Amino acid sequence: MPLFAGIDAGSTTAKVVLIDGSGAVISRAIRPGGANLAAAAGAALRDALAAGGAERDDVAGIVATGYGRNAVAEADRAVTEITCHARGIFHLDPMVRGVIDIGGQDSKAIVLDASGNVVRFEMNDKCAAGTGRFLEVMARTLEVPLEDMGRLALESRDPAVISSTCTVFAESEVVSLAAQGRAVEDILAGLCRAVAVRAAGLAGRARIQSPAVMTGGVARNAAVVAMVAEKLNIPLTVPPEPQFSGALGAAFFARDTAVPQPQRAGRAQEISS
């Protein structure tokens, strides 16, 4: 049975999902993006193939998505992240009508209809404020492992107020709060709340309604998920491996529109919808 790959060349990481013709996930892989997203995407693809016990010739189609999608030489075509996230999530749960994705340097709010089509969306891609990069910088400043950030924030009894969503200014606030002796968990709660307020505002403009999910790397931060849900006054679920939703959708586009091996293009052709 031929295999199909979706590559999400995000701003901070490259993710790959490998599926077979039935849609079953064979393997996943993730690599830090670094300065060369194309190289990271290629490396992640090789990792996914190795994890799935497959060879490059076993792959009948590859679709790229994400920030660096047009730089992925291995891809047959490119599809926008909005479309791929919608497809990936709709495959996981056809009842979902809203998707909030917080990635490394952008955020998206997507509304789906009953057929999984994108009805409308809002996107913040002009500033890294309120994204995964924002939280990464703050975690380093506070010397807290990123994966512990949400858990510690939920232990706060008195969340600090972070008045700026600009990464540079917020970092100065964090340093000042720490110097004043504020508890780390209170500062973390304030940071998570700042991200949640920004994400909820984006979702509100898109008119996200339940049932809704949160995806992207930040969806692994339980405090941000809980705070966004509270702001929107709707429950939010987090799918398994939430950072792979876009790559999963891309893999399904690859399966459905595979180009025969001899005709594969060296450069990706953009598909906007």
Residues 125-150 pLDDT 10s: 666 667 888 899 999 999 999 999 99
This prediction has a pTM of 0.88
The low-confidence residues of the chain, meaning pLDDT below 50, are 259-273
pLDDT of residue 251: 98
Say what percent of the chain tops pLDDT 70.
93
Question: pLDDT tens across 185-225, in order?
Answer: 999 999 999 999 999 999 999 999 999 999 998 999 999 99
pLDDT of residue 126: 60
pLDDT of residue 37: 87
Q: What's the CA angle centered on 118, arms 91 and 125, to 5 degrees? A: 105
Dihedral sign (CA 125, 131, 132, 135): positive
Q: Which of the 8 DSSP states describes residue 211?
A: S
pLDDT of residue 167: 77
pLDDT of residue 92: 95
pLDDT of residue 17: 98
DSSP-H helix ranges across 24-76: 37-51
Q: Omega into 211 within 30° of 0, i.e. cis? A: yes
pLDDT of residue 273: 41
